[in-house]
Amino acid sequence: EPPNTPKNFSCQTQDMKKVTCTWREEETYLYGKNSPLYTLSKTSSQKTALCEASCYKQCSCSWDIGQQWNWNVTVTVENPLGKATATDVFDVNHRMYPTAPLQVWEDCTDTEMTLHWNYENNEIELFCQTEVVQPDGKAELHNSSVSYSRRVTVRGLQPYTQYMARVRCGAARHFWRWSEWSQPLTARTKEGAPSGRLDIWREITPVLGGRDVTLFWKETPSFQANGKIISYEVTWEKIEDGSQPESISISSVYNSTRIFIDNYSYRISIMAYNSANFSLPSVLIISRATDNSRSIFSTEELKEGQVNGTDDGIFVSWDPRSIYDSYIIDWCNFPRLQTCDLQWKRFGPNTSSAVISSAAFVPGVRYKFRIYGSVANRASLLEKKIGYFRELPPCLDPVVRKVDLTYNSVTLSWDSYLTNESEPGFVRGYHVYVSPMQGNCNLKGSKKHILSDESELCKYTIENPEEKRYTVKHLMPNTKYKIVVKAFTGGGETPIVNFRYIDTPYNSNMLYFVFLLVIIPTLAAAICHWKMKWVKEWCCPVIPSPNKSKVLSFKEFKIDSEKVLKINDCLPDMLAMDSNAEAHKL
């Protein structure tokens, strides 16, 4: 291809002695002796070249300007297929492109940094700019206000903080472009007094003659160490009698200490110290041990409410009181260890609930929370809560101590379930599972429960964890059943493994009914058979037949088939007449 017009053709100087022109090399797909040939010359006399161009991705050509300040130059590119030109007209004074500053160094205080630098050509009037990169990566630009100045002061920095800085310059009178940046300089401001206050808390333990107070402290988000913390200054003084305060200095490697105080009120303050100064004091008040107000000594009066875990932590709520200016919740990250790692968190006066989260929270561990109200640095215990990050099933099943059977029911009695701190969840109630050994279960009032082996059970739910007795009704008499009692928590229950087996007795009422229907009639029949003649005579007496009477043993006289007795053949002892008519007839 024939060459195109050179792109980005421009000329500039770095020392007011030599001018360098640059442009972008274009691809013509011709190589060797047919490669493009570049010539830089004055526009007025293009036959005389000012310099020999060198190209590698970008072409450049330099020459001494002597005493000439205004220039009109042309670059010509040609190959066997054609040629193209580009022209630049300029005043050297307006094309100053300084070299990068040299030897950058700094002077620092706790909040200011002054950058100094040297420059290769001190005769040129320059205007310089400083870039300061904050620890978070944010960059700020600061301009020097005085020409020929070789320094700039940056203010408003953070104490004992590392910054990165670099400098660049441009012509002060006829600005053309910035120089390249200097080599970056890393510098740290000096230490300053710690800003803000520490967050402090305490744990009080009654002992003989007074109290042991364990003090804890930590840095708040607003606290700035502004240096290396060397130590913490702990001071306590009795409020009532204005006695001399006591103090101790604690190494910075610790964040707690223990002091002993008597039963009077005390004012305790803690300050952080670095090589510059102390921080502002953080203060708390310990009330008298004999105060009637609810304090650490009256915790037994408070009942422990239950709280529930969430995906993010444990949700804790409390009843707000208008007299307090803040609330504090404390808890142990490792409640089962002697060094429980006490933690605390503060909340504003308009807060009545919070989700307490900690990387130390694990499922199946009971955590205790104490909620305090604070006013004028004096804290009072308000409520106590217990809860789990996530509940797990109970470790053990209830122990069934007594089984009372009838032909159609079974009454189970078990021991009170232990609900101590080692339990992996709150016992919410019990499940009673029943099933006959043969066939499926369909007892009235129950729900079906399918085991992993597809077997079917009848399930009864007892939602009162204080209940220790339950009666399963509607059983079949003379039947073998398997039965088990399981405690459940918010985490469910353990798998069913071991059953208890029972046999319901016969129905005694049915036996009595059978006795009435079968035994008594059979007995009666046997007796009747044994005394049949007597029974027959008693129940069905024989009606006398005249034909069989001995009276008719005389010489037979028959009329038809009947024997006939003539009255005159008998000699009666007495004759009784039924009526006069009959008597007359006879």
Which H, E and C letters describe 204-272, residue by residue? EEEECCEEEEEEEEEECCCCECCCCCCEEEEEEEECCCCCCCEEEEEECCCCEEEEEECCCCEEEEEEE
Contacts of 388 (CB under 8 A, 6+ apart): 308, 309, 314, 363, 364, 365, 366, 367, 424, 425, 426, 490
- Average pLDDT on 112-117 reads 91
* CA 485 remoteness from chain centre: 32
- For the segment 35-80, what is each residue's pLDDT rounded down to a tens digit? 888 888 888 877 778 888 888 778 999 999 888 899 999 988 888 8
Contacts of 201 (CB under 8 A, 6+ apart): 215, 216, 217, 284, 328, 330, 342, 344
Choose the weakest-confidence range: 57-61, 91-95, 120-124, 125-129.
120-124
pTM of structure: 0.69
Give the pLDDT band of residue 261 (cuts 50, 70, 90).
Answer: very high
Supply the pLDDT for residue 547.
59
User: Which carries the bigger pLDDT value, residue 518 or residue 201?
Assistant: 201
For range 214-242, the mean pLDDT: 93
Q: Is 200 exposed, middle or buried (0-12, 13-18, 19+ CB in 10 A)?
A: buried
pLDDT computed for residue 293 by the predictor: 41
Per-residue model confidence as pLDDT tens digits over 405-444 = 988 899 999 987 777 788 899 999 999 999 998 878 888 8
Looking at residue 297, its pLDDT comes to 40
At residue 544, the pLDDT reads 64
The residue ranking higher by pLDDT, 98 or 119, is 98
pLDDT tens digits, one per residue of 270-293: 999 999 999 999 999 999 986 444
pLDDT at residue 93 above 80?
Answer: yes
**Residue type at 246?**
E
Structure tokens at 285: 């008040």
**Which pLDDT belongs to residue 299?**
45
Q: How far apart are the first and last CA of the chain?
A: 181
Alpha-carbon span 188 to 448, nearest angstrom: 73
**Per-residue confidence (pLDDT) for residue 250, from 0 to 100:** 96
Question: What is the per-residue pLDDT for 569?
Answer: 59
- Domains of the chain, each with CATH number or no CATH: 7-94 (2.60.40.10), 102-188 (2.60.40.10), 198-286 (2.60.40.10), 314-388 (2.60.40.10), 400-504 (2.60.40.10)
Residue 62 tokens read as: 């330099």
Pick the most confident of 12-21, 144-153, 314-323, 573-582.
314-323
pLDDT for residue 524: 75
Rounded to 5 degrees, what are φ and ψ at 546?
A: -60, -30
Contact 236, 267 (CB under 8 A): yes
Instruction: For the chain, give the percent of residues with pLDDT over 90.
Output: 50
Give the confidence band of 332 by pLDDT, cuts at 50, 70, 90. Answer: very high
**Average of per-residue pLDDT values in the chain:** 86
pLDDT at 245: 92
Burial of 539 (0-12, 13-18, 19+ CB in 10 A): exposed
- The span from the CA of 369 to the CA of 265, in Å, is 25
